Amino acid sequence: MNKEFFKSLFKDKKLRRSHPRFLIYQELSDAKTSLSPQELYQALLKKHRKIGLTSIYRSLDLFESLGVVFKIMNGTSVRYKLCETEDHHHHIICKACGSVVELNFCDISDWSKKVTESTGYQVIDHQLNFYGFCKACKPSEI
Ligand SMILES: [Zn+2]
Ligand SMILES: [Zn+2]
Ligand SMILES: [Zn+2]
């Protein structure tokens, strides 16, 4: 798990367990699946934790910028899933059911070199998503 993230999460030790950020993190961790901001809001409300949607969106934005969650965009729907891997990684998203798998390999250094050669930019980071159909959703071969 991201150290920077935990530092920010536990900055105020007194607030630790009731801090909205911690509760949102806990909820995503318990869910073991992706959640929409509305689902998070409802789940927290059920536990008598009323955290405003704005606050939820803000926390999710922060989590995303720290690489703690992955934002899954499918048409107009947005869902968030807690990342299991702390290190740099990529994701493949099923176009049918929206399930996500983390890919623990990244082999695009040649590609980065080509980007530098063609643009003169020094490449320091990249984001890349894969899309397809999971085993369950794969259209059967004819
Ligand atoms: Zn991830
Ligand atoms: Zn699927
Ligand atoms: Zn990569």
Contact 37, 78 (CB under 8 A): yes
Between 139 and 93, residue with greater pLDDT: 93
CA of residue 22 to ligand 1 center, whole Å: 19
Q: What is the pLDDT of residues 32-49, one digit of tens each?
A: 889 999 999 999 999 998
pLDDT tens profile 48-77: 989 999 999 999 998 898 888 999 987 788
Ligand 2 midpoint to CA 97 (Å): 4
Instruction: Tell me how far the alpha carbon of residue 141 lies from the centroid of ligand 1, in angstroms.
Output: 30
- 24-to-48, 63, 77, 100 alpha-carbon distances in Å: 13, 10, 19, 20
pLDDT at 17: 62
pTM of the model: 0.78
CA of 4 to the centre of ligand 1 (A): 16
Percent of the chain past pLDDT 70, that is, above it, reads: 86
Say how many C-beta atoms besides its own lie within 10 A of residue 134's C-beta. Answer: 16
Nearest partner of 10 among 2, 19, 93, 46, judged by Cα? 19
Q: How far is CA 68 from CA 62, 102, 118, in A?
A: 9, 13, 32
* Ligand 2 centroid from CA 84, angstroms: 19
Report the percentage of the chain scoring pLDDT > 90: 54
Q: How many angstroms does the Cα of residue 20 sit away from the middle of ligand 1?
A: 22
* Lookup result for tokens 């798998």: 101
Phi, psi dihedrals of residue 83, rounded to the nearest 5°: -80, 135
Residue 112 has pLDDT above 90, yes or no: yes
Would you say residue 10 has pLDDT above 70? no
**pLDDT, tens digit (0-9, with 9 covering 90-100), for 70-98:** 999 877 889 999 998 888 899 999 988 88
